[in-house]
Structure 1
Amino acid sequence: MALTGCLLLLLLCARPVSAVTMENKILVVSFKKIGEPCVHNVECQSGCCTTNSLNPQKFCTTQTLLGQCLPWRKPIGYSCTDKTECSSNCCVTNNYNPFLFCTPRNIFLQCLEWRKPNHDHCEDHTECRSLCCLRLTEASSPRCVRRSGLLARCLPQ
């Protein structure tokens, strides 16, 4: 009896154990592999049980190089409410409506806000793609205009 206990202990130490349960006085060791459904981290061989899609069902997933279990994040184009929901960590509007979407980062790893095209009404330079918001006449409301001049300044035309 002591020998079988020692052998069982060696078996448990030799392999990563994710869940150990007692059923009818029999020790049961379960190892769920990557991709198998789970509820808790301890059920998985990798030690990570997270969602891997918009489906709320959790599955065993791999750990990062630093041993972390990262949750699945939405790909580019999906709607979002916060940047932490997106794989790119960018959640901004991409047109006139107030809805936010996961967007890619630029080559400088920045999240760029959508800006109004030329001839749209504006209140501030930062609203425009050209970063130039001017009144074309004294009586008109400000509009986004292209930059002009030799040094591409925001000058009235």
Structure 2
Amino acid sequence: MWTLLLLLWVTPGPEAFNKGIGEPCEEHLECRSGCCVSNSLNPHRFCTAQTFFQHCLPWHKPVGYQCYHHWECQSRCCSQIGRSLKRFCVSKTIFLQCVPWRKLKGDLCRSHRECLSQCCIRQRDSSPRRCTPRTGILAQCLPLN
């Protein structure tokens, strides 16, 4: 009899397992997934999914958040955006590769692959090479002359 009462007291009721992924929580028992982890952006904890091996997945930053390492991001991609030296979580390409940051129009460059336009040329023989937009009907890498 005492064992049954003890089990009823220790076993959580159905209301304990009602929170879905992304909802705030304080303990693993509150989540349907059984995982309640800390969010690195604030001190709160949220329900997250489990891996195939029933481990709780850590919280990762979504696309657009500032990062320093690939592992910080949900996409596993942390890249420089724009001319600032800051890095942000970015999405992956359809080939599951991290979108690399490329130089913008007018930036100094050494090769085509450095530029967003994939076009790094000199406008005049004496000028430095710069990223330029592709031009013409066939979108070629031509000087603007």
Relative to the length of structure 2, the TM-score reads: 0.69
In the alignment, what sits opposite 1:154? 141
Alignment partner of 1:36 is 2:34: no
Distance 2:62 2:98 in 1: 14
Deviation at 1:149, TM superposition (A): 6.0
Identity %: 45
In the alignment, what sits opposite 1:97? 84
Relative to the length of structure 1, the TM-score reads: 0.65
SS in 1 for 2:71: helix
Residue ranges of structure 2 left out of the alignment (5+ in a row): none
Flag the structure with higher strand content. 1
- Distance verdict in 2 for CA 1:92–1:62, change over 3 Å: closer
Distance 2:105 2:42 in 1: 41
Distance 1:111 1:80 in 2: 14
Partner AA of 1:76 in structure 2: V
Residue ranges of structure 1 left out of the alignment (5+ in a row): 13-27
SS in 2 for 1:126: helix
Alignment partner of 1:142 is 2:123: no
Question: Residues 6-155 of structure 1 correspond to what in structure 2 (within 5 A)?
Answer: 7=4, 11=7, 29=10, 31=12, 33=17, 34=19, 35-38=24-27, 46-52=33-39, 54-59=41-46, 61-64=47-50, 66=52, 67-148=54-135, 151-155=138-142
Please provide the CA RMSD for this pair.
3.1
Deviation at 1:99, TM superposition (A): 0.5
Describe the superposition over 1:74-95 as per-residue Cα deviations: whole angstroms up to 9, x where unpaired.
1222100112211222211111
Distance 1:149 1:91 in 2: 34
SS in 2 for 1:105: coil
Partner AA of 2:92 in structure 1: R
